[in-house]
Amino acid sequence: MSRVLVRRACNTMLPVHRLPPEILTRIFYYAPESSIPRDKVIWIPTIFRMKDVIVLAAVCRHWRDVVIGAAILWSSVNRPVASGGHMKRSSGVGLNCQLSKELGDNNMLRLTEFLTNNGRRIRELHVMGPDRSPPLSFPLHEAQFDAKKLEVVSLIGSSTTPGLFEAPVLNLHRLVISNSESKLPTGQLAQLTQLCLSKIETIHITEVLELLSRAPSLQDVHLVDSLRKDEEDGLYRENIPLRNLRRLSIRENDPVPIFSLLSYLLLEPSTALRIRYGYSRACQLSTSKLPSSLFPISEPILRISIIRRGISLKFIGASPTSGIRLEWLITYREDAHLPSSIYAQLFPGANPHQVSLIWADSYSKSLPSGLVRALPESVTTLVTSTAYLEFLMSEFEVEDPTGHVPCHNLSTIHVLIDRQRSRVDLALSKICPFMTTIAGQRAKLGCPLERIVLTSFNNEDGEKLKLAGINALKRAVKIVEHEAYSELPIMEMPPICTAGDGTWWPSWTDQWRDAGPDVLADWAHSDFSLYSDEESNPDSD
């Protein structure tokens, strides 16, 4: 008996070979890697690399028979222009297709023929042109086909509008359009749950609003540099209820179209909102404002954290069910005095009881003047990194000509002491003297502090915290306590904020993490894929 026959006989005894072909097929379906990086299309695509399927078929004769006989394992079409035998093996199942940058008139004709002949079977269609350079022309308008089974469309770097966008009804569940000159779908999108519009210069806010009004099932919306102002204000007249929307992420260089868009949306208290203001002189913190339409989200906010991390300044407000996250570049005018209404402008109707000032390794420790003096009267607890104790002193010592006492109800201050970098933040010897001064300032204003909590973290050496001037601080405040944590305590937030979903929606808890050597990447990371021309990974079928 040859070695091959012996090996084959032994292989048939393995537990995996006793599984029914249906079970093996299901296992094999999840084995290949995706042929398109997730960052390219925002959400996880189903299309996979066929070369991984070929590897499975090469393991043994039994696996080969299973692979060849399972049509679903041949459902990914990465090169439609060379898919002859491939299409026969996938007969009877829906297709996940990728159209990549294969130039030439002959290839364009073959792509058109492929879409016309097989369009009725396509479930996912990913048009992968350039991310950043000028869009390419794909034969999307010429190909006419029945798109009833089409659930996912990704249109990256295309200069043409698919003919199917003119259909009165589309069954799309997910739509991604990036760096394209395409028009938006004009029909009903009752099944659409995920939408991304990125770097589209040919559409206006009104068109985006009209699309949203036809997609009542939307759960996730990601908008990046795609809100062009209309020539005339107020062209859209109706409010749009988005009762199923869970997450809304917007990045724009101009705050005006953001305000315009949000003012028409009727959102639920469970919707979480993230806004990133780009590099623009128009995006100033002191003049930033959100519309009153956000009351359902902002009014229940109980906690607000202000974080200097990397090259940005971030405001994060959290309620029991959702939150609002706002981000600016470090280039905001640090000499501009914030208005007393700044918190009402950013979080309409909110009455937070806790505000935190967090320094998570930034190029600058500075905060805009007036940030503490503008704290809402509802705030009773202030949490601060030691890096901002001197800033607090300067804020509290300013005398208001009207006699107004900032943060009248403030009674507790938590001081966050990083044991690993206390020399960078503030010397340990200065913490208690600074806090004693702040306690004296508050007492002088007639609003004495009742409680100071010294919160240390990152104490890897286990050394006992020793602070000079602790006795003087205990005489100035009724209660002085100490708490210890292994790492920087994070503000309490609901799961919609803490659960990350790729780079478009990172976990908000990441902002409490030290930026470290990646301080420059903090701002650009989550949009990196939308600003590079990295190729996707199509492989031969």
Number of Cβ within 10 Å of residue 140's Cβ equals 23
Angle between helices 428-444 and 389-397 (to 10 degrees): 20
Q: Is the pLDDT of residue 538 over 70?
A: no
Could you give the percent of the chain with pLDDT greater than 90?
Answer: 42
Q: Per mean pLDDT, which range of 401-415, 432-446, 526-540 is the poorest?
A: 526-540
pLDDT at 244: 97
Q: Is the pLDDT of residue 498 over 70?
A: yes
341 close to 288: Cβ distance less than 8 angstroms: no
pLDDT at 529: 41
Report in angstroms the alpha-carbon separations of 208 from 87, 189, 227, 356: 37, 13, 8, 36
pLDDT at 83: 62
Among 87-91, 94-98, 297-301, 513-517, the range with the most confident prediction by mean pLDDT is 297-301
pLDDT interval class at 57 (50, 70, 90) = confident
pLDDT at 420: 81
Distance CA 303, CA 354 (A): 5
Residue type for 101, please? K
pLDDT (tens digit per residue) in 31-49: 788 888 888 889 989 888 8
Angle between helices 61-69 and 50-57 (to 10 degrees): 140
pLDDT at 423: 57
Q: Per mean pLDDT, which range of 158-167, 172-181, 211-220, 242-251 is the poorest?
A: 158-167
Q: Is the pLDDT of residue 535 over 50?
A: no
pLDDT at 531: 36
pLDDT (tens digit per residue) in 330-358: 655 555 678 889 999 999 999 999 999 99
pLDDT at 61: 77
Distance CA 138, CA 157 (A): 9
Average pLDDT over residues 63-79: 82
Mean pLDDT of the chain: 84
pLDDT at 459: 83
Give 313: exposed, middle or buried? Use CB within 10 Å, 0-12, 13-18, 19+.
Answer: buried
Buried b (16+ CB within 10 A) or exposed e, 211-242: bbbbbbebebbbbbbbbbeeeeeeebeeebeb
Q: Is the pLDDT of residue 526 over 60?
A: no
pLDDT (tens digit per residue) in 458-488: 887 778 888 899 999 999 999 999 999 999 9
pLDDT at 342: 93
The sign of the CA dihedral 500, 501, 502, 506 is negative
Among 99-103, 291-295, 325-329, the range with the most confident prediction by mean pLDDT is 291-295
pLDDT at 58: 83
